[in-house]
Amino acid sequence: MHLPSVLLLFVGGEIVDLVLQTGMVAKTVLLFLLAFSVLSWAVILSKWKLISSARRQSARFLNSFRKAQRMQEIASVADQFRPSPLVGVFEGAIAEFRRQMGTSGAIHNPAAVQRAMQISSSEEITRFESNLPWLAITAAVTPFIGLFGTVWGIIDAFHGLGTAGAATLRAVAPGISEALITTAAGLAAAIPAVIAYNLILGSIRELATRNDDFSLEMLNLVERQQPQPANEVHR
């Protein structure tokens, strides 16, 4: 079986014929919708892969972090757990921890460590949210682009009907069916984008919550790393 025959069998010969018979405006609309759909699917697949890897590496990182007794133990192997956002939060805390230890030999401002982790967490979540607005734009715009193509096609069909002077369903139905193709294409582009946007946004919020929880664990570890005053040690 030749490739064109397989394509017609898969898509449906009548649908392909309708697309081929549409006017120039409808074809242009369909090309725009195809571009939106391809780009949105590229974002969906890349984000899904990134989030899946982040979840897996976050679980591994937390397991190693909770087994470690000192920050230096986990700091030496943190890079292998990327793209987990917890690594960025941890490195933000480590940088502030080392600055304070380098100047005074002790942690004199735990709040600064917490702020450093909050900044790092925001940067990590922003990284995960990059290109995500494209899905929202696709979900909001493509139905209207498809509707524009449909309205234009119906106007063209009725204009042709008036010119021909044959006011019958048989005369107007082909033009309307061709026009409705663009609405269907708009919905086909918008529906996956809506679903993916909400699922991905929910996953990113889950990662943000995990960052907040990890920040609390990290603060506990920072406090345990602080050298105790001599009078408290001998008390």
- What pLDDT does 66 receive? 86
User: pTM for the full model?
Assistant: 0.78
The answer to whether residue 184 is domain-embedded is yes
The answer to whether residue 95 is domain-embedded is yes
Q: For residue 139, is pLDDT > 90? A: yes
Cα 50-53-59 angle, rounded to 5 deg: 135
The answer to whether residue 192 is domain-embedded is yes
- What pLDDT does 46 receive? 95
Confidence grade of residue 164 (pLDDT, cut at 50, 70, 90) = low
Q: For residue 53, is pLDDT > 90? A: yes
The answer to whether residue 44 is domain-embedded is yes
The answer to whether residue 128 is domain-embedded is yes
- Which DSSP symbol is given to 68? -
Which range marks the domain in which residue 86 is found? 32-225
Q: Give the span between the Cα atoms of 189 and 134, in whole angstroms.
A: 12
The answer to whether residue 18 is domain-embedded is no
The answer to whether residue 231 is domain-embedded is no
The answer to whether residue 116 is domain-embedded is yes
* 176-190 pLDDT per residue, tens: 777 788 888 899 999
3-state class (DSSP) for residue 198: helix
- Which DSSP symbol is given to 226? S
Number of domains in the chain: 1
- What pLDDT does 6 receive? 37
Residue 129, classified by CB atoms within 10 Å of its CB into exposed (0-12), middle (13-18) or buried (19+), is middle
